[in-house]
């Protein structure tokens, strides 16, 4: 079980109540109020100290600090943090670490401007590691890769000659990668293997008709009271075809998820009125 560090800081607002609501209030509420709050370290020094005192630092005063993309869930990098690094992250909202080789603090993006903008920090159940949950401004790895994790151990074990980089992706983003490869074949007119995805990319009318068809079939699972597994299957079909359309429009799934995250901060009616 993980715990959000920011949930410890209940700062009184000018209107009364708390600036940062604590768990388990709705995530949407936490996001909305958090945007209105000043940096934690500047407003709640006592709570910061008490929180830091509760962390199980190792014999060198460090904990493992993992940076994770708030929208994709991708693990971006892993480093170490001491008290000062966490305090700096609280106040700046930029992922800050402790360099064991240089014995000094460093902020990711301080040189490259590829910052990781921290939206929340989570403690693990033993309080000996933390997650910086945030939005990266650019590639995280010094190699230029999106994350520092792009070498599959199983790929190496299965084929010692295989050296193709492959990001550690969840199912949704693995599918997006495959669709991207088909789009590249489509644009460069490579022969490749015959595929349904490439066929859809060649025919906008076919693609749009499939999206409408799959949306209707998904809706029918509710109207006809079909089994939940049927709804999941139809949603999978709809999502796949929608992702092909998004790829043709050069829209990333991460962009879509970012839109959804930002909508957490307002009601559906408010969001519609703001369009």
Q: What percent helix, strand, coil does the chain show, rounded to 5? A: 45, 15, 40
Quick check: 44 and 9 in contact, CB under 8 A?
yes
Q: How far apart are CA 117 and CA 133, in angstroms?
A: 8
What is the CATH architecture assignment of 3-136?
A: Roll (3.10)
- The answer, yes or no, to whether residue 20 has pLDDT greater than 50, is no
Q: How far apart are CA 195 and CA 110, in angstroms?
A: 44
pLDDT in tens, 96-107: 999 999 999 999
pLDDT in tens, 243-271: 999 999 999 999 999 999 888 765 555 55
pLDDT in tens, 182-241: 998 888 776 666 789 999 999 999 999 999 999 999 999 999 999 999 999 999 999 999
How far the first Cα of the chain sits from its last, in Å, is: 38
**Domain coordinates in residue numbering, the chain:** 3-136, 170-274
Highest mean pLDDT range out of 29-33, 172-176, 264-268? 172-176
Asked, colleague to colleague, whether 3-136 and 170-274 share their fold, the answer is no
Q: How far apart are CA 53 and CA 48, in angstroms?
A: 9
Global confidence as pTM? 0.73
Quick check: 41 and 31 in contact, CB under 8 A?
no
Q: Cα 33 vs. chain centroid, distance in angstroms?
A: 20
Name the CATH superfamily for 170-274: MazG-like (1.10.287.1080)
Write the DSSP symbol of residue 171.
H
């Amino acid at each position: 079980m993980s715990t959000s560090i920011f949930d410890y800081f209940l700062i009184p607002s000018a209107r009364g109540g708390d600036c940062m609501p604590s768990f388990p209030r709705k995530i949407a509420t936490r996001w909305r109020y958090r945007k209105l709050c000043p940096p934690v370290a500047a407003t709640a020094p006592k709570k910061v100290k008490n929180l830091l005192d509760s962390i199980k630092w190792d014999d060198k005063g460090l904990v493992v600090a993992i940076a994770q993309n708030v929208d994709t869930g991708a693990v971006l990098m892993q480093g170490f943090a001491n008290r000062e690094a966490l305090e700096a992250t609280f106040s700046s909202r930029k992922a800050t670490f402790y360099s064991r080789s240089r014995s000094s603090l460093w902020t990711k993006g301080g040189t490259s401007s590829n910052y990781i903008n921290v939206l929340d920090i989570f403690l693990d159940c033993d309080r000996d590691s933390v997650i910086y949950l945030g939005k990266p401004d650019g590639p995280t790895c010094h190699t230029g890769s999106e994350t520092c994790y792009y070498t599959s151990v199983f790929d190496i074990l299965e084929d010692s000659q295989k050296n193709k980089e492959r990001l550690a992706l969840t199912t949704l983003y693995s599918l997006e990668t495959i669709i991207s490869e088909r789009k590249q074949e489509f644009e460069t007119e490579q022969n490749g293997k015959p595929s349904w995805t490439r066929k859809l990319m060649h025919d906008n009318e076919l693609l749009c008709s499939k999206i409408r068809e799959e949306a209707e079939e998904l809706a029918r699972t509710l109207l006809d009271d079909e089994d939940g597994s049927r709804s999941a299957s139809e949603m999978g079909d709809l999502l796949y075809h929608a992702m092909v359309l998004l790829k043709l429009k050069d829209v990333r799934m991460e962009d879509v998820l970012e839109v959804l995250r930002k909508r957490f901060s307002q009601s559906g009616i408010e969001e519609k009125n703001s369009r």
